[in-house]
């Protein structure tokens, strides 16, 4: 399938969702059956076959944070005929970076409340004088500078890994522990980071990944996923559609979920401003 068609069907899904209005929902609780039928039909009968995608999780969250629809399509495991549901775990890749950003802002606010947003501009050496950070990977340590710091946006996994490690140092903890604390506070109880100890053969709730060659999909060796553990802060989160709906509620309600202010509203606002700035860049 051509990249153009892949983008086309993706835009069609987005278009259907964006076409939803408040009048499409019954008492603001459920999606209108006719709209739901159109979404289900398009994903099941057009998107999945056209993209050779085995499974897809979908959550629709209204601007006020209300979850309107959360479901799963396809099979979490085609060979074992395990149906995909809204509690099936997917490796969400670089979306993990947004969680790392929340953790960094949360830690800086807790440890340096007087600095406010200036904490992001304060040299690490001043925040944690005892820190001695050196890249062991010579490919990174001696690579040429792509651009001046904060002069432009560039995609970078390594810097998110560094940010996660530094957050752990500042909090006198570890990145993994900080991440688990955030998931617990958000009520994302069916999500977790990839671990080297994971036994994928005994995890039927995790979607089996596939790769496509010449329009045919093949199951991926799940043991290879463990390589991401060295860069979990950049892309190591397994999450469900239901849990990601909770994350969206948290973001849309400026750090609040179920009446609990997980991070101060000022921190959430700062996060949104930064995100918009990067998007504009």
pLDDT digits (tens, 9 = 90+) for 154-171: 888 988 999 999 999 999
27 and 133 both lie in a single domain: no
Which of 86, 119, 149 lies at the terminal end of a domain, its last residue? 86
Tell me what pLDDT residue 4 has: 43
Residue 239: give the domain boundaries.
Answer: 89-281
CA distance 99 to 105: 10
Rounded average pLDDT over 211-240:
93
162 and 244 both lie in a single domain: yes
81 and 94 both lie in a single domain: no
pLDDT averaged over every residue in the chain: 84
- Please state the domain count of the chain: 2
Whether residue 8 is predicted with pLDDT greater than 70 in this model: the reply is no
Rounded average pLDDT over 126-146:
72
Tell me what pLDDT residue 278 has: 62
Give the model's confidence band at 239: pLDDT under 50 very low, under 70 low, under 90 confident, else very high: very high
Contact (CB, 8 A) for 78 and 208: yes
Rounded average pLDDT over 252-262:
93
115 and 243 both lie in a single domain: yes
**Which of 31-40, 127-136, 148-157, 206-215 has the lowest average pLDDT?**
127-136
Tell me what pLDDT residue 137 has: 58
153 and 229 both lie in a single domain: yes
Higher pLDDT, 201 or 234: 234
Whether residue 51 is predicted with pLDDT greater than 80 in this model: the reply is yes
19 and 143 both lie in a single domain: no
Whether residue 250 is predicted with pLDDT greater than 70 in this model: the reply is yes
Rounded average pLDDT over 51-79:
89
Tell me what pLDDT residue 130 has: 78
Which of 52, 86, 120 lies at the terminal end of a domain, its last residue? 86
43 and 109 both lie in a single domain: no
Tell me what pLDDT residue 138 has: 56
Tell me what pLDDT residue 279 has: 62
Which of 86, 114, 148 lies at the terminal end of a domain, its last residue? 86
213 and 119 both lie in a single domain: yes
Give the model's confidence band at 140: pLDDT under 50 very low, under 70 low, under 90 confident, else very high: low
**Which of 15-19, 40-44, 112-116 has the lowest average pLDDT?**
15-19
CA 210 to chain centre: 19
> Residue 101 belongs to a domain with what CATH number?
3.40.710.10
Tell me what pLDDT residue 133 has: 65
185 and 76 both lie in a single domain: no
60 and 177 both lie in a single domain: no
- Can you list the alpha helix ranges (DSSP code H) found in the chain? 3-18, 33-42, 48-51, 96-111, 124-127, 138-141, 157-170, 175-186, 232-235, 241-252, 265-280
**Which of 42-56, 128-142, 238-252 has the lowest average pLDDT?**
128-142
217 and 265 both lie in a single domain: yes
Tell me what pLDDT residue 26 has: 32
């Amino acid at each position: 399938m051509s990249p153009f068609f892949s983008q086309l069907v993706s835009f069609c899904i987005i278009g259907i969702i964006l076409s939803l209005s408040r009048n499409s929902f019954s008492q603001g609780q459920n999606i209108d059956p006719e709209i739901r039928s159109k979404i289900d039909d398009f994903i099941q009968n057009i998107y999945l076959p056209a993209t050779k995608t085995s499974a897809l999780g979908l959550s629709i969250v209204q601007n006020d944070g209300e979850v309107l629809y959360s479901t799963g399509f396809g099979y979490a495991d085609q060979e074992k005929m395990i149906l995909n549901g809204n509690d099936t775990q997917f490796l969400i890749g670089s979306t993990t970076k947004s969680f790392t950003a929340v953790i960094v802002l949360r830690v800086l606010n807790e440890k340096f409340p007087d600095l406010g947003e200036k904490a992001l501009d304060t040299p690490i050496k001043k925040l944690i004088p005892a820190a001695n950070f050196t890249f062991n990977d010579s490919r990174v340590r001696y690579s040429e500078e792509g651009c001046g710091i904060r002069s432009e946006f560039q995609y970078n996994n390594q810097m998110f890994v560094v940010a996660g490690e530094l957050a752990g140092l500042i909090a006198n903890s570890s990145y993994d522990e900080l991440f688990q604390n955030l998931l617990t506070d958000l009520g994302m109880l069916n999500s977790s980071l990839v671990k080297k100890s994971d036994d994928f053969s005994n995890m039927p709730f995790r979607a089996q990944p596939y790769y496509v060659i010449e329009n045919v999909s093949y199951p991926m060796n799940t043991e290879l996923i463990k390589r991401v553990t060295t860069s979990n802060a950049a892309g190591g989160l397994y999450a469900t559609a239901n849990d990601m709906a909770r994350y969206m509620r948290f973001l849309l309600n400026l750090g609040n979920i179920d009446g609990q202010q997980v991070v101060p509203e000022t921190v959430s606002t700062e996060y949104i401003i930064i995100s918009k700035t990067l998007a504009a860049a």
